[in-house]
Structure 1
Amino acid sequence: MSIELPALYVDSIALLATTPRLVLINRDPSPGETGVPINATLALELVDTGPDGVDRATARVWVDGVLAFEGGAPIEIAAAFAGPLAGVTQAADTLRVVLHPVVPLASLATVHVRVLAQTVGGAASLVEVYSFVAEDRTAPRVVGAQALAQKTVRVAFDEPVVVPTGATFVLTPKSAPAVPVVVASVSIEGRIALLTLDTEMTPDVLHEVVAVGVTDLFGNVILGPYDRASFTGFRPARPATRRFDLWRMLPKHNRRDDHTGDLFRFIACLQEVTDLLLADVDHWPDIFDLERAPETFVDLILRDLGNPFPFELDTMGKRRLASVLVEMYRQKGTAKGIQNAIRFFLGIDISAITPFNADTLYLGESELGVDWVLGPSDRFARYAFNVEVARILTVRERQQLRAIVEYLKPAHTHFVDLVEPIPPILPNHWELGLSDLGETTDLH
């Protein structure tokens, strides 16, 4: 059954807020708190908001499942939590418990606290569980290291780290012959440190990297033996069929006579230099390839091609220009070349390239310098032209378009006008009682 009322009026609303009789307050550390010192005390207060008070004999506190406080026992605080600052204080309506762990909390431990109590007479009870997280006191550790390039080494840690002032990384070859290397710069991103070396490391030689003074985000300094890792020197990729072993190139009798191994070690030094030179030769395609070359080499390629355009381009624009510049040279002096170059640089499709026409003279009407100008000679007019575009250009676009046309047009021709659409004319409309014809409005 439902009843529809035509209207409903509320004269007053009474809000009655009820709270539990027995409450838990002043918790230190507070629920959900992080970074709690490992030697901190655990404090809490039980308060009865009614007239009875807290029944001390029923109060219990567990810390990580261990009974730390029992109000009814002769020894109220367990020995593991009875440090110098521990204590129990009871007032008429309040019971305050302070626990002082004898053994500091574990680093980054999540501590769970469970509290149980009743009021005198058992009219109200409380069961509450909360937790907090101890501070990080664990030093970071090196997980591993890997050579990514001839001058780049990646070092991984088990947690995010920072490199404070004075901290460094030391690289040491563990066998000979090997070139000593020094870390020139360090880049940190979370748990990963990228080391840039001052020179190429010796390929295939075992190296050891040691992190000195590196800390985690909480200032814990890395400690041995977890401050180091070993890795193999980077070996550049090479063709599978290449055989360029200097030791094998020596006559067999020279190799047989090398009883001390000095000749072998000397040739190994020469072999390393040879391998580096061959690696540079293998990287040559990455320099002249327009898609892979570094930006500095792209600039050199454009300079070698005689780039005549002074426009500022991004890296992708430079690569595109280098790929079409020779074709622009081939189309120089043609209308198609001008259209393609304007489309390339400005993204504008020109409407047409039209012959230049001087202003028409109407006998008895035209006035020189007012609505008619003295036209050029027949020879000039024969080779003069205009460029028409479909939209209004910006000042920068006009400058760049004129520069492109002036360079790509045939030498004997003359670029006269850049024809843009005329902006729409907004006539003045009439406003009754305000407008005057010919002064503040136009008839249209």
Structure 2
Amino acid sequence: MAVLKLKSGLLAAAIVLATGVVQANDLSELGKSLTPVGAEKKGNAAGTIPDWTGGLNSIPKGFNPETGYVDPFAGEKPLFTISSANMAQYQANLTAGQIEMMKRYPTYKMNVYKTHRTAAYRQAVYDAAKAEAPNVKLVDGGSGVQGIKKSNIPFPVPKSGVEVIWNHNFRDLGGSVVRYSADFPVQSDGSFTVGKRIETVALASYMDSPEENRILYFMNQITAPANAAGDVALVHEPINQVAEPRLAWQYNPGQRRVIRAPELAYDSPGIGSDGLRTNDDLNGFNGSPDRYEWKLIGKKEMYVPYNNYKIADRTLKYNQIVQKSHVNPDFVRYELHRVWVVEATLKPGKRHIYAKRVFYVDEDSWAVLHADQYDSRNTLWRVREVYGVQAYHVPTFAGTGEVLYDLQSRRYLVGGLTNEEKFAEFGKKYTPADFSTAALRRMGR
């Protein structure tokens, strides 16, 4: 089996910091040369990345939650397609994982479209970021954040890799979201079993009286397959998980009881993933950063999944998307965007199945869009991509699916697809009581 090894020096040498980056401590540039969340407003010199002009926060004509997103770019055709035949021409803007996928699977390709900087958030998100950023600081060696109350972007002008990851962990989801989705662990022969879930995420910053030391509250209810239906997991996500570990519980329908579930963290297998993802894989990355050393490599122009309204099209059936070896590439849209590149290396004495991870984080939304993950031999093991769209009716930047390719087992996991499910619900107000163990028990029953 072919393998690909990461050479940190070569990666670092390949990264070119974007021109015009404002000095790291110049928060006064927010809303001026920088966007309200800290991205560079100006596009690139080649004109292939445009200026950010406010993002997409108006609702296109014909939008109806019952029928899903209206694709504002439906009429566009790919500018070009990258495949194993021509990838050498574009490798400066490709990740190690994308290159390996094309080497390994002749049918894998990347359709590249015109770049649109659609990411935008609510005005309250912008206001809180500007107000709180001067007083926010890392604590416990970067494992916690201090001085944050309402902000979803604690470090809009990051000085370290862990600050970029904290921005990803805190990023806004429209205040709260209830997402109905389907997961597919796909075997090497292309067979799969459909799993379905209802996820509820409520940001503490959006609550009137949240508990101290909280980023968010999370409830995950399994509705299919039948042998797993009724399992419910509850998570209270602390800001500082060294001072207070993640609080997690599960409702077991067989026993009809709620039990503590401290294993729902780090590299324990994710529920319904058939062992193909870890708990901290979900959404690109989640949870405490304390097991890794985080290195900020820099900013780079990369071809990443973006504006993936096509794969969210509710006229599509899952069997049109989920294919042998990889998802149907005709439904995935790639664009050239500037991303922060962050390398995470496992600390001595710490345990995790991934010894090294390289994250590509969108400058406009702070969402992880791609991650390459390496085993203890420093060999590329798993490749993750997150399919994002601008939820213009909220507005927020949201995931509409994600995929993790396991190169060693030749299996993959695609999750978060919503084509045949109820449309997500954003912005409902919650209280901590809605995420109590009593609420978990009621939901299980």
Scaled to the shorter chain, the TM-score interval is under 0.3
* TM-score, length-scaled by structure 1: 0.14
Higher relative contact order (CA 8 A, sep 6+): 2
* TM-score, length-scaled by structure 2: 0.14
| Structure of greater Rg | 1
